[in-house]
Structure 1
Amino acid sequence: MGALAQSGDMTETADVSRREAWLIAARPHTLPAAAAPVAVGTGLAVHAEVLAVLPALAAFVGAALIQVGTNFANDYYDAVQGADTEDREGFTRVTAGGLIEPERVKQATYATFALAVLVGVYLVYVGGLPILVIGLLSVASGFAYTGGPYPLGYHGLGDLFVFLFFGVIAVTGTFYVQAAAVLADPLATAIPTGTLPLAAVVASLPVAAISTNIIVVNNVRDKDEDETTGKRTLAVRFGYRFSRLEYAGLLGLAYVTPVWFYLEGYSPAVFLPLLTLPLAASVTQTIFERTDGDALNPALTRTGQLLAAYSGLFAVGLAL
């Protein structure tokens, strides 16, 4: 998720206004990572005739707030734990760069997660106990990615975390709250029948895979610095070759998933994401050939664009 917070243009630390600094910290260009699972979950809800606009909108707002809160948390904790050094090849961090006081960034983290919890109150009313559990785990994990006694991103668990929370849980949760709003009574204590079909889990896999690939690009770029600062990502543990194969393998998972839906009787429109294959191939070539920030910072942006384009087309294909 730290890498999910890093696609965009490199920003110089000089001559940055206070407002610009907060925009850098919030990283609004990362919001497609929050929108992608909501789009796919909603496309599937349209197909299943359980579309519920207000729960879908609330799911996006909640996901966006968790994304921004996690961006703040990553900026703060990476700085105070010494993970952001002068050798950093990634995008500007406001805490390490001295643009905003660490305490202010920490306060913004808590405030943003508090707003996410507030939105979550409505979603809990719609979806009941399952959404309460998911929401609390999502907020706690936003902190735990780079903070707490055992930061997930520092111990090679970041990829798995993003796959689950920004993919599987985000897509299935979006479908669930809409289906629950249509099919079940409020404040359910268990998962109501018809609200969590296998199709929702399968539909989450491409979003999970491409979201995780943003982390993979980030870890390849930062491998040398992470080794120095003790951040044991999968790239540090297993090397460049492993990470490159991971990137390609996750893309393979994303592009084979529509076949399952077609075989299940969905429209051939589920193959619309294949239109993004040229972009996927181009970024993969960069990942396999380069390790420097000059190449991989744009590759982060392009992987984010791939996530947005694939998810949008897949959502349309599912809806049709």
Structure 2
Amino acid sequence: MTTKVASYSPNPDSPSPNESSGSPTAEERKKLWLAALMPPMYSVAIFPIALGTAVAFAETHTLHWGSFLTFLGSAILILAWENLSNDVFDAETGIDANEPTSLVNLTGNKSLIFWIGNLCLGLGIAGILAISWWQQDFTVLGLILLCCGLGYVYHGPPFRLGYQGLGEILCFFSFGPLAVSAAYYSQTQTWSATSLAVSVILGISTSLILFCSHFHQVEDDLAAGKRSPVVRLGTQRSAQLIPWLSGGIFALAGLLVGLKLFPVWILLILVSAPTAVSLSRHALQYHDQPERVRNCKFFAVGLHFWSSLLLCVAFGIAGLS
């Protein structure tokens, strides 16, 4: 999964470099590079591994640091491949023609970005292969290869399923059930109903980031023939859907605690509720103003980060108790 941002700033309401006239200044160009590299987005790679490992620790009271750190590095490299290759494939369709934060546009060298992406993929898969070799069990490798396959059909030719509005579904499974289960299996070499259940929460919050990335680029998506969910629903109805999606994260956590599938510590996730409120308000207020709503993604990243971190902490506490 990859999403484009036009600015990188601690303040989600700050103006983007697009809003200045003329050629970008050195400071604006630095912001464009930071936006293109998307540092905040790598929490999307980190938390499935951290959460699957935390659940394993809660259930087994054991943590295999070598597998965890290797998996974490591989996940970051594989997401880098996903982001870089997405820039390359979007450059081929022309959908990024007006996107200043495309690495292809910034470097003017599509081939370079393509091969750097492939190098990241190769290194990432090598790390997963190492884990499988240590365990003499290639289940984790199979799961991650499936994730990579879903990542490719999301944006790669001839599939480009993201252009049909299926990106959020692919994202849900890749960064939710598949990745979390793979991380859990790398620690235990078995499966867990708890791991699968919590992966649904993480999958929703991750897909919400991708969903929120479409609001500011409806015109470009339409011009390129991309039928994202926001294009299909319209910005207003899409914004009205966000409180339900974000609220569903907390409702599901509460339900699973009530069913005694989760430890009561999981209710710590409620501390992140204000980020869901901020996201919903921002989307509802600015859904039809591209230059203001383009930072909606940052609010979604905040919700994903804090809710995921609190889930990890909760399972960590459960493992220590």
**Normalised by the shorter chain, which TM-score bucket?**
0.7 to 0.9
Does structure 2 retain, via aligned residues, the 8 Å contact 1:3–1:218?
yes
Q: Aligned with 1:232: secondary structure?
A: coil
Q: Structure 1 residues 267, 51: CA separation in 2 closer, same or farther (over 3 Å shift)?
A: same
Q: 1:272 aligns with which of 260, 268, 271?
A: 268
> 76, 96, 107: which is aligned to 1:84?
96
- Counterpart position of 1:187: none
**TM-score scaled by length of structure 2:** 0.85
Post-superposition shift, 1:224? 2.1
Contact residue 24 and residue 94 of structure 1 kept, 8 A: no
CA deviation after TM superposition for structure 1 residue 33, in Å: 0.9
Q: How does 1:170-189 map to 2 (within 5 A)?
A: 170-180=179-189
Counterpart of 1:28, as a letter, is P
Aligned-pair distance for 1:22?
Answer: 7.0
- TM-score normalised to structure 1 length: 0.85
Deviation for aligned residue 1:117 = 1.2
The residue number in structure 2 matching 1:203 is 198
* 1:59 matched residue in structure 2: 71
**Is 2:3 the partner of 1:3?**
yes
Superposed displacement of residue 310, structure 1: 0.7
Q: Within 2, Cα distance between the matches of 1:7 and 1:123?
A: 37
Q: Within 5 Å, give how 1:167-316 maps onto structure 2.
A: 167-180=176-189, 195-259=190-254, 260-264=256-260, 266-291=262-287, 292-316=289-313
Q: What is the CA–CA distance in structure 2 between the aligned matches of 1:280 and 1:19, rounded to whole Å?
A: 29
Q: Is the 8 A contact 1:7 1:30 kept in 2?
A: no
Partner of 1:2, secondary structure, is coil
Aligned length: 302
Displacement after TM superposition at 1:244 (Å): 2.8
Residue 299 of structure 1: how far off its partner (Å): 2.0
Residue 147 (structure 1) shift: 1.6
Q: Does 1:119 align with 2:130?
A: no
Question: Which residue identity lines up with residue 114 of structure 2 in the other structure?
Answer: K
Unaligned 5+ segments in structure 1 are 181-194
Q: Is the 8 A contact 1:37 1:167 kept in 2?
A: yes
CA contact (8 A) 2:163 2:227 kept: yes
| Residue aligned with 2:103, SS | coil
For residues 73-92 of structure 1, the C-alpha deviation after alignment (integer angstroms, 9 at most, x for no partner) is 11111112111132x5xx61
| Contact 1:144-1:152 within 8 A present in 2 as well | yes
SS in 2 for 1:222: helix
For the structure 1 residues 228 and 201, does the alpha-carbon distance in structure 2 shift closer, same or farther, using more than 3 Å as the test? same
Q: Identity percentage over the alignment?
A: 23
Residues of 2 paired with 1:151 and 1:217: CA distance? 19
Task: Check conservation: 2:46, 2:72, Cα contact below 8 A.
Answer: yes
CA spacing shift, 1:243–1:20, aligned 2, 3 Å: closer
- 1:172-195 C-alpha deviation (Å, 9 max, x unpaired): 211111012xxxxxxxxxxxxxx2
- Tell me, yes or no, if the aligned pair for 2:215 and 2:294 is still in contact at 8 Å: no
**How far does the alpha carbon of each residue in 1:167-220 deviate from its partner, in whole angstroms, 9 at most, with x for none?**
12111211111012xxxxxxxxxxxxxx21111111111111111011111122
